[in-house]
């Protein structure tokens, strides 16, 4: 059981009613797990996987924030470093955040500062893991994701 993992759960694309292929994946943070469908087209499998390793390496190397895109240009998981802890939350990538011009390799410039409250003052759902958990993810997945 890993405290942080991010992976596709199958190799065969699932075709959506709208006529585009997706790959099913799962993000695991401690006891929390969420499935997602990543569209193929804007990015292919290797693009997602390389991005995940690069994002994880940034955080482990000392960056105060990074993000894992799970649904190209639609959803991502920003991460903020808090000492040896990592705070994660899932966000919709709004065009006002720069999604229309988001650099797919280094999208990190548009990540805002961490806040436990939304713009409306409501608590933001978030999860925690350790920097060491992200380092373990890189160690386990880096070579198979083509990012050695």
- What is the full DSSP assignment across 50-111? HHHHHHHHHHHTT-SEEEEEEETTTEEEEEEEETTEEEE--EE--GGGTGGG--SS-GGGGP
pLDDT of residue 96: 46
Residue 130 has pLDDT above 80, yes or no: yes
Whole-angstrom Cα distance, residue 108 to residue 80? 11
Burial 106-124 (b: 16+ CB within 10 A, else e): ebbebbeebeeeeeeeeee
Q: Which residue, 70, 78, 76, is CA-closest to 43?
A: 70
Examine the pLDDT at 101 and tell me if it is beyond 80.
no
Q: List, for residues 27-47, the tens digit of each pLDDT value.
A: 999 999 999 999 998 789 999
Residue 103: band (very low, low, confident or very high) from pLDDT cuts 50, 70, 90: low
pLDDT, tens digit (0-9, with 9 covering 90-100), for 86-98: 999 998 876 545 5
The pLDDT tens digits for 110-129 are: 888 999 998 899 999 999 99
Does the structure show a pLDDT above 90 at 7?
yes
Over residues 6-17, the mean pLDDT reads: 94
């Amino acid at each position: 059981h890993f405290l942080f993992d991010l992976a596709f759960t199958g190799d065969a694309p699932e075709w959506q009613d709208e006529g585009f292929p997706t790959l099913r994946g799962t993000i695991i943070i401690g006891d929390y797990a969420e499935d997602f469908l990543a569209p193929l087209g804007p990015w292919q499998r290797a693009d997602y996987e390389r991005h995940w390793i690069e994002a994880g390496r940034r955080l482990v190397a000392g960056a105060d924030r990074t993000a894992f895109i799970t649904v190209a240009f639609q959803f991502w998981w920003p991460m903020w470093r808090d000492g040896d802890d990592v705070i994660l939350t899932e966000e919709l990538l709004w065009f006002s955040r720069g999604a229309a011009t988001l650099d797919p390799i280094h999208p990190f410039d548009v990540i805002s500062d961490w806040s436990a409250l939304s713009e409306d003052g409501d608590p933001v759902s978030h999860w925690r893991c350790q920097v060491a958990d992200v380092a373990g993810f890189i160690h386990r997945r880096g070579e198979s994701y083509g990012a050695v």
